[in-house]
Structure 1
Amino acid sequence: MTTDHAIPGSHLDVLVQGRGPALLLAHGAGGGIAGNFGLVLDDLARDHTLVGPHYPGAGGSAAAAGPLDLDDLADRLVRAAVAAGQDSFAVLGESLGSAVAIRIATRHPDRVRALVLTAGFATADPVLALATQLIKSLASAGQWEDVARFALLSCMSPADLADAEPAALDEPAAQILAAMPPGLLDHFDLVSRVDVRADLAKVSAPTLVVAPTGDRLVLPESSYRLAAGIPGAHMIELPGAAHVLNPADRATWLRHVRDFLAALPALSA
Structure 2
Amino acid sequence: MVTTGDDDCENQSTDAIIWLHGAGLSGRTWRSDVPGMKPDLPGHGQNPCIPEPSVERYADSIAPHLPHRFALVGHSLGGMVALELAARHPDKVRALVLAEAVPTVLQSSASTWIARIAKAVMSHISPKRLAWLSGLSEPAKVKNHLREQIGSMTVQGIQDGLTAAMRYDGRPHLAEIQCPTMVVIGERNKATHAGARLFHEGIASSQLMTLSGGHMIHVENAERFYTTVLGFLGDKK
TM-score normalised to structure 2 length? 0.84
Superposition deviation, residue 73 in structure 1: 1.9
In structure 2, the partner of 1:12 is: 2
- Alignment partner, residue 44 of structure 2: 58
Where 2:3 maps in the other structure, the secondary structure is strand
CA offset digits 1:18-41 (Å, max 9, x no partner)? 865101121111111112x1x3x3
Distance 1:63 1:113, change over 3 A: same
Distance 1:33 1:144, change over 3 A: closer
Indicate if the aligned counterparts of 2:2 and 2:47 stay in contact, CA closer than 8 A.
yes
TM-align CA RMSD? 2.7
Contact kept in structure 1, 2:77 and 2:101, CA below 8 Å? yes
Question: Following superposition, which runs of at least 4 residues in structure 1 exceed 6 angstroms of deviation?
Answer: 169-173
Q: Which residue of 10, 25, 29 corresponds with 1:31? A: 25
Q: Is the 8 A contact 1:211 1:224 kept in 2?
A: no
Mark the CA change 1:62 to 1:176 in structure 2 (over 3 Å): closer, same or farther: closer
1:230 — aligned with what? 203
Task: Decide which of 108, 116, 120 is 1:133's aligned counterpart.
Answer: 116
CA shift for structure 1 position 177: 5.2
What does 1:72-221 align with in structure 2 at a 5 Å threshold? Answer: 72-81=57-66, 86-124=67-105, 129-142=112-125, 144=127, 146-153=129-136, 156=138, 160=139, 175=148, 178-181=151-154, 182-215=156-189, 218-221=191-194
Please say if residues 179 and 205 of structure 2, whose CA atoms lie closer than 8 Å, have aligned partners that are also in contact: no
Change (3 A) 1:231 1:122: same
Aligned mates of 2:189, 2:123 — CA distance in 1: 26
Number of corresponding residues: 229
Query: Higher Cα Rg: structure 1 or 2?
Result: 1
Identity over aligned pairs, percent: 25
Q: CA 1:71/1:263 → structure 2, altered by over 3 Å: closer, same or farther?
A: same
Give the conservation status (yes or no) of the 8 Å contact 1:138–1:146: no
For the residues of structure 1 that align with 2:233 and 2:222, how far apart are their CA atoms?
16
Q: Is contact 1:148-1:177 (8 Å) kept?
A: yes
SS at match of 2:121: helix
* Distance change >3 Å, CA 129–CA 33, structure 1 → 2: farther
* Superposed displacement of residue 146, structure 1: 4.5
Gaps in structure 2 of 5+ consecutive residues:
none
Residue type at the aligned position of 1:222: G
Segments of 5+ residues of structure 1 without an aligned counterpart are 1-10
Please give the alpha-carbon distance, in whole angstroms, between the structure 1 residues aligned to 2:6 and 2:146: 29
Measured at CA, do residues 257 and 142 of structure 1 come closer, stay the same or move farther in structure 2, by a change above 3 Å? closer
Structure 1 or 2: more strand by fraction: 1
